[in-house]
Amino acid sequence: MRIMFVGDSMTIGSAGEHTWRYRMWQHLNREFGRPYRIVGPRTGLHDHAADAPVSHDYADPAFPERARAHLAGWGEGWLHMAPLIREEVAAHRADLLLVSLGLIDLGFYTGAGQTAANAREFVAEARAANPYVQIVALPVLPNIRAQEDPAFAAEVDDLNEQLAKATADLATSSSPLLLASRPADWSLPRDTHDGTHPSHRGEHKLAAAFANALHQAWDLGGPYEAKHLP
């Protein structure tokens, strides 16, 4: 199975971080129980000094190059990924997409309605490249802005409702879609380092959300080990 991580700044991560992609790679090695390959056109982390995805300074230098692949970008959302995903799924022959998008869309680009429409376009474009592609998406996790701005929090809730509806509308037996459960007890002080981006604890929780969704819904791999949730 060829797995592609798709996401925004929470997924690409920045210089010096492990990323939840790293935590998921560790989980797949422990629990997946079948051959897999992580694929995608990019491998870097975001470098704040350069304001570009040019860093390869992962917190664990033993994280192998072959496992660093992704399709994620700082400041990129459903709006940006929908036009790219057909080409990248085709080029990398992706079977499974693990997607964490939406917060940046609402923060800078589109409201809940248009963001949900872009998510539907993303699914259609991915299927145009692979009619059997499987997709697991994570709901948008409210950040510090949502905590301080009730109108933005309402947009987050609205988008999550629309993503749940889109998942139900678009899922098929040949190309299943799944909206993962929000990580339990997500706490901005503990699970993020700046009110948005995941801390070490948050990285584990994001990986666990995807791992447990795959296990519970499709019997892919095992549950995320509790000992890896600090």
pLDDT of residue 167: 97
pLDDT at 184: 83
pTM score: 0.97
* Contact by Cβ (8 Å): 99, 210: no
Angstrom distance (rounded) from CA 39 to CA 20: 15
User: Measuring CA to CA, which residue among 33, 53, 38, 40 is closest to residue 85?
Assistant: 40
What's the confidence (pLDDT) of residue 74?
97
Helices (H) and strands (E) in the chain, counts: 9, 8
C-alpha angle 159/206/90, rounded to 5°?
75
What does each C-alpha distance from 11 to 146, 170, 187, 197 come to in angstroms? 19, 24, 18, 9
User: How far, in Å, CA of 92 to CA of 5, rounded?
Assistant: 12
Interhelix angle 150-170/112-129, rounded to 10 degrees, is 30
Which residue type sits at 219? D
What is the model's pLDDT at position 14? 98
Structure tokens at 156: 């987050």
Residues 6 or more apart whose CB falls under 8 angstroms from that of 82 comprise 118, 119, 121, 122, 125
Block mean pLDDT (10 aa), the chain, length 230: 98 98 97 96 97 97 97 98 98 98 97 98 98 98 96 98 98 98 94 97 97 97 82
- What was the pLDDT predicted at 227? 72
CA distance 41 to 30: 25
Fold of 2-11+22-41+75-228: Rossmann fold (3.40.50)
**How far is 189 from 127, CA to CA, in rounded Å?**
38
Domain range list for the chain? 2-11+22-41+75-228
The CA angle 128-164-135, to the nearest 5 degrees, is: 35
Q: Is the dihedral of CA 55, 61, 65, 68 positive or negative?
A: negative
